[in-house]
Amino acid sequence: MSKDHRRRGLLRRDHPCATAFLDETGSISQDRFFAVGLLKHEEASRLLRAVHKLRDQTHWYKEIKFSQLTATTLPLYRQFIDVALRSGPAQFFCFVADRSTADPVERFGSTWAAYSKLAEQLVVAALHPDELVTILADNYSTPDAILFEEELRESVNRRLRRLAVVAALRLDSRSSDGLQIADLLTSAIAFEFRAQAGLASSSSPKAMLARHVRTSLGAETCVAGWRSDRHSVAIYHHGSWSPQASQDLDA
């Protein structure tokens, strides 16, 4: 930022901004594996246009959801992954908790607090210095007293000591192609963990899509954590983001 902009309290027209789609997979209170994923894009309109164009080309207007994947829809789901990740500067971040070794619910006292903390840390880890982001999150069911969106925005901004999250909103995933792509990516990553633990088939259509997602991201496997210059999969450990990062989950 120029000295003139700093003096006048203004941001440049090209200040780094992004839109992030936040989704989760698994039941944090019941399932062994729970994952939170965030798909971030500097120009989310490009991603949405690419997905919409493929919908029109294939006449597929149903919800794109990993849990509904079949052998028949596998080729189409692969296409959706490809067009989304090739739509521009997309970045994907995922945080996986194995409750048999480190249970975030036990750590933070409730399912809501655990989910909020995982989401907070995921957003913090995904942001570049000075970047502003708008977060669109899947409509995760919470009691009326849990103000997830406001708390997520405030906690991230407090952690980073600046305005980072401009707004956080929850949407029905059926209304957002971005959330549906985030669901595919997050669920595919978590599936590898379940399959390795013997909780899912390693030869099913879901396993095939999970392999395709890893290949598209550039990862051979994610079960020990993995990162590149654009994407990251981290394992939850009590008190830390991952062995590969220095952020403190308790901060």
Q: Name the stretches of the chain with pLDDT < 70.
A: 1-9, 239-251
**pLDDT the model gives residue 3:** 53
- For residue 17, the surrounding DSSP H or E stretch is strand 17-25
Domains delineated in the chain: 16-235 (3.30.420.10)
Q: How far apart are CA 227 and CA 109, in angstroms?
A: 29
Pairing of strands 90-98, 232-235: parallel
The pLDDT assigned to 231 comes to 96
Cβ proximity of 149 and 117 under 8 Å: no
**Best CA proximity match to 44, nearest among 162, 173, 136:** 136
pLDDT tens sequence across 120-130: 999 999 999 99
| Tokens linked to 180 | 């549906």
Burial of 207 (0-12, 13-18, 19+ CB in 10 A): middle
223 three-state secondary structure: coil
The model's pLDDT over 54-106, given as tens digits with 9 standing for 90+, comes to 999 999 999 999 999 999 999 999 999 999 999 888 999 999 999 999 999 99
Three-class DSSP category at 240: strand
pLDDT of residue 144: 75
Token output for 211: 């392999």
Query: Global pTM?
Result: 0.90
Closest by alpha carbon to 209, among 186, 227, 175, 225? Answer: 186
Calpha distance 188→232 (Å, rounded): 14
| Amino acid identity for residue 58 in this structure | T
Question: E-strand spans in 43-173?
Answer: 90-98, 132-138, 165-171
CA 85/CA 115 separation, integer angstroms: 26
Burial of 20 (0-12, 13-18, 19+ CB in 10 A): buried
